[in-house]
Amino acid sequence: MAEYTRYAMDERLESDSLHALATSGTAWEAQQEWEEYRTLMAYYRCAMMEVETKFNVLNTEFSLRHDRNPISGIKTRMKSPKSIVEKLKRLGHQPSVQAIEAHIHDVAGVRVICSFTEDVYTLADALLKQDDVVLVERKDYIASPKPNGYRSLHLIVTVPIFLAREKREMQVEIQLRTIAMDFWAALEHQLRYKKDTTFTDDMARELNFCAEISAMLDSRMNTLRREVFGDEFEYVVSERDNVSVSDEEQPAGEDEE
């Protein structure tokens, strides 16, 4: 998993050249493809910044109205060239710039860490109401957690980026989760990917139990929030029921980390 870095560009993309994309052909073709790749990545990075800004604006507006921030942090990441190539191969596609745009929906990633579970849905609704944001896919791993206990709301959206001579719609993957969900996901990732250690069924059960405790914690904190702040979300007209939900909404049976 590429590391999500707070407000940072993934500079590795500049040095970590995607030679794998330059599959065959002449050196000139390889150079052309490399230039196209760099340009595409720059566009994704712009889209990622657009989405990050949109969430910062929503956070500012909400905090003006309610004296608290629904967003505890935003992290962004560009998928690494290695992960892109691996994913394309896994999906059965030859690595190419065209294949990236057609098949990889999470090149640009924005992770929004929210204070409370209701903030997750409120922010998602507020974002999706914006007329330049188009929902491509929505996976609600909070309503239906993954078998290992992973919870988050995943959205794939397109947003426009305005270039000097054209406007381009770019895809961005957004993961919205609470602090507790993020805590669990970060530690689960560390534990599961520890090299040279077999992850046993007992360990998996324990992790799942921790996920349940974290869900309970979120639920109780949300109850407290209601008692302290009342109904803060009256002004947000929920369009959750109206958005098109992809067929892939239901989580896969496998842990896909």
Binding residues for ligand 0O2, per CB under 6 A? 1-2, 79, 83, 106, 109, 139, 146, 148, 150, 154, 185, 188-189, 255-257
Q: CA-CA distance, 171 to 176, in Å (whole number)?
A: 16
| Comparison of 103 and 225: residue with beta carbon closer to ligand 0O2 | 103
Q: CA-CA distance, 115 to 122, in Å (whole number)?
A: 12
C-beta contacts of 56-59 below 8 A and 24+ residues apart: 58/123, 58/126, 58/127
Q: Closest distance between ligand 0O2 and the C-beta of residue 233, in Å?
A: 26
- Beta carbons of 181 and 151 less than 8 angstroms apart: yes
Q: Closest distance between ligand 0O2 and the C-beta of residue 162, in Å?
A: 27
DSSP state letter for 2? P
Q: Closest distance between ligand 0O2 and the C-beta of residue 177, in Å?
A: 9
Q: What are phi and psi of 157, to 5 degrees?
A: -130, 165
| Comparison of 54 and 139: residue with beta carbon closer to ligand 0O2 | 139
Q: Closest distance between ligand 0O2 and the C-beta of residue 209, in Å?
A: 15
Q: CA-CA distance, 137 to 34, in Å (whole number)?
A: 29
Q: Closest distance between ligand 0O2 and the C-beta of residue 175, in Å?
A: 6
As a 3-state breakdown, the chain gives helix, strand, coil percent values, each rounded to 5, of: 45, 20, 35
| Comparison of 1 and 143: residue with beta carbon closer to ligand 0O2 | 1
DSSP codes joined into one string, 90-158: HTT----HHHHHHH-S-SEEEEEEESSHHHHHHHHHHHHTSTT-EEEEEEETTTS--TT----EEEEEE
| Comparison of 218 and 232: residue with beta carbon closer to ligand 0O2 | 218
Q: Closest distance between ligand 0O2 and the C-beta of residue 42, in Å?
A: 19
